[in-house]
Structure 1
Amino acid sequence: MVLNYLLGKPGPVTGYGSATTAAQVAADNAERIKGRVFIVTGSSAGLGLETATVLTKEGGHVILACRPGQKADQALQSIKEKVPEGQVELMPLDLGSTASIKKFAAEFKSKGTPLHVLINNAGVMACPYGLTEDGFEMQLGTNHFGHFLLTHLLLDKLKGSGDDCRVVCVSSEAHKLTPKGGIKFDDLKYEQNYSPWYSYGQSKLANVLYASELQRRLKADGVTNVTAYSLHPGGIMTDLQRHTGGAMGYLLWGLDSCGLFKSIPQGAATSVTCATSDKVLPHAGGYFEDCNPVKPSAYGQDAEMAKKLWEVTEKELEPFMK
């Protein structure tokens, strides 16, 4: 995989590889994008903004779902300048707030438009210890609980929007960086021995497990028009790394300086592949890297852990589910 990454070698399933850009994937799948409705969380910068931009360019109706403020306004303006005729709009969403998530879902449903693809892209990375406004540990609460609730509230919309609707969960290779045992079910708030990186890895493992369990449940319920995917976009320097410092910060800077990180257009390619390519459909529920399916960690393949995570998450979110 490392050699393929350095060479940009196309993968066997999709024909894309590490050097492929999101714009290339979107152009190849333009007929599968035009007229369809996409929600992209965390789309005010980085991978989310690039994903939203290329989908808009190819005729998608794109909802920028991100925290309100100057960055979000600038993102919207940026896409409008690049694609003057595009269908793109901004809707405020804070994934660390169940009230914000519920408001977003209600306002989207009130529009009366279909929803074809939900791209759960937003996230926080290796941040200092903190809690969301609802009392969840910040990284698991934002990266997993927030997206779980958002998807739950919009799932009926996806089911009722015709053929080939999708949920795409942006995870990370860091899902392999977890404490022994995987998900800390006995300490979800991570009150004992908090580690910013282990916490981040746990939240990204949760993304992988969630996508696979969502797919299993959809299949068990006889839902054939909605599929789910998780993915690692690759090593990319974006605003996500703003909390990294010390030795890890120098390591990331060094890798980027040596050309071993992807560009943002390359990093967004796997998200766009999972959101649009028909070649991924036989691998629903799977984990993707460099635009192709690969095996996640052993914990990421643990069906019992995925089932338990779903049940625990439902219990934690039960007061906010309706």
Structure 2
Amino acid sequence: MWLQEVLVPLVRLYLCGIKVLLYQMFHRSFELPVLPKQNGRVAIVTGSTRGMGFETAKHLASLGMHVIIAGNEREEGSAAVRKIEDEGVTGKAEFVFLDLTSLKSVRQFVQMFKDRRLPLHILVNNAGTMMVPERQTEDGFEHHFALNYLGHFLLTNLLLETLKRSGRHGCCSRIVNMSSATHYAGVIDMDDLNRRISYSSHGAYSQSKLALVLFTYYLQEQLMAGGCPVTVNAVDPGMVDTALYDNLWSLAQAMKKPVAKILFRTPAEGASISIYAAVASEMEGVGACYLYNGEKKESSKSSYDSELQAKLWKKSCELVGIQNA
């Protein structure tokens, strides 16, 4: 049991990491094309007080957007807003508290946003955590599953009608889900999504990233069937030098530091793929893609399993307490 549930996910995840590093060794980071101005448009970027989320929010604001920095660190959020304002951007940035590990907080955030009667053109589900020790959220969910996936699942669904109203054909609203190459190592256990039988932080993390890709494809299918002017894509930033790696084992952490300086992407480089998916003209009307280094790539074989997509969607609706559309 230990071999299957703990060691195998660990090996799979690190093999994914090695493959990504080899790619990054021989390929330059994707460079953004000239992007159209976004004056008057509104974006929400989760986990954007620092790292790739901050770089995404800053760039969108520089294009003229009103960007809502959604995060659970108030001081960091205020500092992020000041940094963006100091850049002299043409848009606007503001911080709004959001704890994605709490379904109550997600609902409160959405209600506050709706009360302002703002449109919503871009939703970047960027926030994430990686390889934290086993713990449950206040709602009883495994931490990776709750923060990386389930909180974003609820947030997206509660904002979906606003996104639909804000988009139009030829100028769709866009949803961007931050996945990872580790989703290739992910396994969805529908009978134990909270990893209570045998916990592995590696398995829990890769499962949450696979769930985001499954969610992306299923949601886009529903949007297309309804003729809705909203697209949704999954993006993979590669290996980026951020605080996401703070929970690595001591040995891995020691090895990571020198490697990161040479082979990891910077937060700005990692954010480029989210920004591209969010506003690039080439992505207008394009959905259900897995984007890596500026290109459409094939995601894992299991991510295209339509039966698994539907099962996960139905179960997720039950877990967060919304109607299965």
Tell me, yes or no, if structure 1 residue 202 matches structure 2 residue 229: no
Q: Decide whether the 8 Å contact of 1:51 with 1:271 is kept in 2.
A: yes
Shift of 1:57: 1.1
Q: Distance in 2 between matches of 1:146 and 1:154?
A: 12
Aligned to 2:266: 263
Partner letter of residue 231 of structure 2?
T
Task: Tell me whether 1:243 sits opposite 2:251 in the alignment.
Answer: no
Match of 1:314 among 306, 313, 317: 317
Give the aligned partner of residue 181 of structure 2.
Answer: 173
Q: Find the aligned partners of 2:90 and 2:287 in 1 and give their Cα distance.
A: 33
How far residue 2 of structure 1 moved from its aligned partner, in angstroms, is: 7.3
One-letter amino acid of the structure 2 residue matched with residue 316 of structure 1 = L
Let me know the Cα RMSD of the aligned residues: 1.9
Q: Which amino acid aligns with 2:244?
A: L
Flag structure 2 segments of 5+ consecutive residues without an equivalent: 1-19
1:287 corresponds to which of 279, 285, 290 = 290
- TM-score scaled to structure 1, two decimals? 0.88
> Is residue 246–residue 253 contact of structure 2 (8 Å, CA) maintained in 1?
no
Question: Among residues 145, 155, 159, which one is paired with 2:160 in the alignment?
Answer: 155
Consecutive unaligned residues of structure 1, counting only runs of 5 or more, are 10-17
Whether the 8 Å contact between 1:56 and 1:83 is mirrored in structure 2 is no
> How far did 1:86 drift?
3.2
TM-score by length of 2: 0.88
**Distance across 1 between alignment mates of 2:165 and 2:202:** 38
Q: Which deviations, in whole Å up to 9, do the C-alpha atoms of 1:188-208 show, x marking residues without a partner?
A: 121122111110000000111
- Contact residue 130 and residue 245 of structure 2 kept, 8 A: yes
Identify the range of structure 1 (43-52 vs 77-86) with the bigger mean alpha-carbon deviation: 77-86
Cα distance 1:176–1:248, how it changes in 2: closer, same or farther (>3 A)?
farther
Q: Distance in 2 between matches of 1:19 and 1:165?
A: 23
Q: Give per-residue Cα distances to partners, 1:40-99, cap 9 Å, x unaligned.
A: 000010000000001111111100011142211211111111126531111110000111
> Secondary structure at 1:268's aligned position in 2?
helix
Structure 1: how far apart are the matches of 2:72 and 2:146?
Answer: 16
Q: Which residue of 2 aligns with 1:297?
A: 300
- SS of structure 2 residue aligned to 1:187: coil
After superposition, the C-alpha distances for 1:129-174 in whole angstroms (9 at most, x for unaligned) are 0111111111001111100000011000000013210110001111
Q: In the alignment, which residue of structure 2 is the partner of 1:278?
A: 281
**Aligned partners of 1:252, 1:92: CA distance in 2, in Å?**
32
Fraction of identical pairs, as percent: 35
Partners in 1 of 2:129 and 2:157 — Cα distance? 21
Aligned length: 302
Q: CA deviation at 1:299?
A: 1.5
1:282 Cα offset (Å): 5.9
Superposition pairs for residues 102-117 of structure 1, below 5 Å?
Answer: 102-117=107-122
